[in-house]
Chains A and B, each alone.
Chain A
Amino acid sequence: MSSTLQSRWWSWGFRSAVMLYFILLIVFPILGIYGYSLSAGLAAFTENITEPLAWKAVLLTVKLAFVSTMINVLIGTMAGWVLIRYRFPGRGLLNSLVDLPFALPTAVAGLMILLLLGPQSVVGQWAEQLGFSILFHQPAIVIAMVFVTFPFVIRAVQPLLEEMDGSEEEAAYTMGATKAKTFVRVILPAMLPGIASGAMLAFSRALAEFGAVVLVAGNIPGKTLIASVYIFGEIESDNITGATAVSVVLLTFSLLILWLVNYLQSRRKGV
């Protein structure tokens, strides 16, 4: 009896501690930002968000994050496929390298891109000859975003591919389906939930990227200034409400995506 009581107290204590931690670390700050952005009234909020530089920054961020997500969906799906389905020397190393963008400080990633794609570099000169420049223009931002969000799609697709042992494909073949048809009707649908949730997380992360982008974007307001850098600038110039207004927009986006990912995953488990 006393032991059950004890364990009940323990369990209550643990749960409360975790809840408190969660509330202090995540819920309060988020509520704080929403509160602060609206503290000067709704009019001030709309004024801040309709500021051309602000909404241009948000729009640009969404656009580039979308492009980088699409790139990652394509390359990440292929990379996940290759890493699971093919056996070749160096596969294990490659597989562990996938997580590097998570581990690396994003500023280092930015620096790498800066050195690699700058006007003095080989790639930079090629691009220059072809009549466009990468660094301090939108391509550099996309590259930075792609690099930082690279692991998401791969890591979401891999477990789903591992689950399929190849007999589903063989079953499709024996029923007369060609390889292409089997891919479209059998393999792709099985990978789709992973691709979708990986893409959404990648998108959400790309929206938020600061460290890698700030070094390579050039940060020209209205042209290559993305939302997170805009927020930084607003804080530097002491316009906290401007910063919070854009933050709220980004935050809402992220929360929506998170909810969508969860919804998709729960649906997958249900189906």
Chain B
Amino acid sequence: MHVEVRGLTKKFGEFPAVNDVHFSIAKGQLIGLLGPSGGGKTSILRMLAGLETPDSGDIVFHGTRVNDLPPQEREIGFVFQNYALFKHMTVQGNIAFGLEVKKWPKNRIKERVAELIELTGLSGFEKRYPHQLSGGQRQRVAFARALAPEPQLLLLDEPFAAIDAKIRQELRAWLREMIDRLGITSIFVTHDQDEAIEVADEIMIINKGNLEQKGSPWDIYKNPETPFVAGFIGESTIVEDVSTLRGFEQAADWPGTKALIRPEYVEIGQANEFRLLSATETGRVRHLHFRGSEWLVEVDVGASRLVTYRSLEKEVLHPGEEIQVLVHRAYLFNDNDSWIMENRLKEDPMPVHI
């Protein structure tokens, strides 16, 4: 189903939960609504479902405005954060509920339930009650139940929040595959950026009721459009005065501009590890943290402290040691604008034109 939202606004009392949000979603896409808790993601999802009424704005499914349709008539499937399974019904009963309500013929209900049980790998658990299932199984029942009436749009509210980290990984991959196979337009809410990046075709970053940016995970990572997005996606440190860093002296032309530098923008090592030594400057190792698969290194460069990762394969650094630091780029922002600045010295200082 093609989904279009225009000027969606919702206030809870004086608190603006959703603030003039516009977006459109193509059929068959899997969209992640990502943002900090309390930012309005769930409110958007609930308004799409018809469980919450917008103060203003239009919600359009397939070219038809559905604002005035109750949730019963929107042809959606909704997976709740706590799954909201019917406790007094078996797995089978839960999945069949939507079909019975829609008065499907008995034999078709039976077929459809069997099909979904097969699809979600719940064979053998048909007669169990929700409290006799593990978290992951419950999640799959909730998923099967939402899909049973063949909805046009699947909405998932923090679908993995209540599941152990290990199983979460499996379920993510499983969900991604399932949605690909069914080709159903889906929107899920999450506050976990790894989850959004891993699963979604496109991410919408929601903060304080505003849609900050919409785009593919790679796009958002590479070209953050707002300081919030830049800071929210990936890791980063803020540098107050970036013009003190070598290669970024030009930044002094924009007073009041701060820089955001990701660990992966920074390279460190002994002088012999760099090809372009002229672009580096000297720094001092402050702390080393072992992160399982690599070192997290804090480096002091002048008055700034930068953070970066270093491979375990490379020579081990020690706190207090003097090293060379190369900052590839920085994300600069001030109150009005934001842009990405590359290290000027990285271009060969003496280019040879042939």
A→B interface (CB under 8 Å):
165, 167-168, 170-178, 181, 185-186, 189-190, 271
Interface readout for B65-99 with A: 1 if CB under 8 Å, 0 if not? 00000111110111011101111100000000110
Which of A165, A174, A176 is within 8 Å of B102, CB to CB? A176
Q: Which of B88-130 contact A (CB under 8 A)?
A: 88, 97-98, 101-102, 129
> CB within 8 Å of A: which residues of B?
49-51, 70-74, 76-78, 80-82, 84-88, 97-98, 101-102, 129, 131, 145-146, 148-149
| Contacts A167-B82, A170-B80, A174-B77; A181 near B49 (Cβ below 8 A) | no
Chain B nearest Cβ from A185, distance in angstroms: 7
B87 contacts which of A173, A177, A178, A190 (Cβ < 8 Å)?
Answer: A190
Pair B82/A175 contact, Cβ less than 8 Å = no
- Knowing A175-B145, A177-B72, A181-B101, say if A271 contacts B88 (CB, 8 Å): yes
A168 B101 Cβ-Cβ under 8 A: no
Closest to A174 in B: B78
Q: Which residues of B contact A176 (CB under 8 A)?
A: 72-73, 98, 101-102, 149
For the complex formed, measure the closest distance between the CB of A6 and the CB atoms of chain B, giving whole angstroms: 40
A165 to B82, CA, bound (A): 10
Select which of B50, B85, B149 is within 8 A of A175 by beta carbon: B149
Whether B84 pairs with A168 at a CB distance below 8 angstroms is yes
| CB–CB B51/A173 < 8 A | yes
Q: Return the 7 tightest CB-CB contacts between A and B, nearest first.
A: A175-B98, A167-B84, A174-B78, A171-B84, A173-B71, A177-B101, A189-B88
A173 to B70, CA, bound (A): 8
> In chain A, what residue has the closest Cβ to B89?
A189
Partner of B72, one of A165, A173, A189: A173
Q: How far is the CB of A159 from the nearest CB of chain B, in Å?
A: 14
Majority secondary structure, B binding face = loop
B82 touches A174 (CB 8 A): no
Bound Cα distance A170, B225 (Å):
36
Residues of chain A with a CB closer than 8 A to B131's CB: 271
Docked Cα-Cα span, A178 to B72, in Å, equals 7
- Given A165-B82, A189-B88, are A174 and B146 neighbors across the interface (CB < 8 Å)? yes
Residues of A within 8 Å of B49, CB to CB, are 174
What chain B residues lie within 8 Å of A185 (beta carbons)?
Answer: 97, 101
The distance in angstroms between the C-alpha atoms of A271 and B317, with both chains bound, is 59
Contact of A170 (CB < 8 Å), options: B78, B85, B101: B78
- Which one, A165, A174, A177, contacts B76 given CB within 8 A? A174
CA distance A176 to B84 in the complex (A): 15
Pick from B50, B70, B80, B86: contact of A186, CB below 8 A: B86
Q: A177–B149 Cα gap in the complex (Å)?
A: 12
State how many angstroms separate the Cβ of A149 from the closest Cβ of chain B: 26
Q: With A and B bound together, what is the CA distance between A220 and B224 in angstroms?
A: 88
Bound: A225/B50 CA distance, A: 58
Q: Contacts of A170 on B, CB cut-off 8 Å? A: 51, 71, 78, 80, 84
Which chain A residues border B74 with CB–CB below 8 Å?
A: 174
Residue of A nearest to B84 (CB): A167
- Report the minimal beta-carbon distance from A24 to chain B, rounded to whole angstroms: 40
A190, B88: Cβ atoms closer than 8 Å: yes
Q: Are A171 and B102 in contact (CB under 8 A)?
A: no
How far apart sit A262 and B87, CA to CA, in the bound complex (Å)? 20
- CB-defined A-B contacts under 8 Å, sample of 7: A167-B84, A171-B80, A173-B71, A174-B49, A174-B72, A175-B98, A271-B131
Q: B71 touching A174 by the CB < 8 A rule?
A: yes
B87 surroundings in chain A (CB, below 8 A): 168, 190
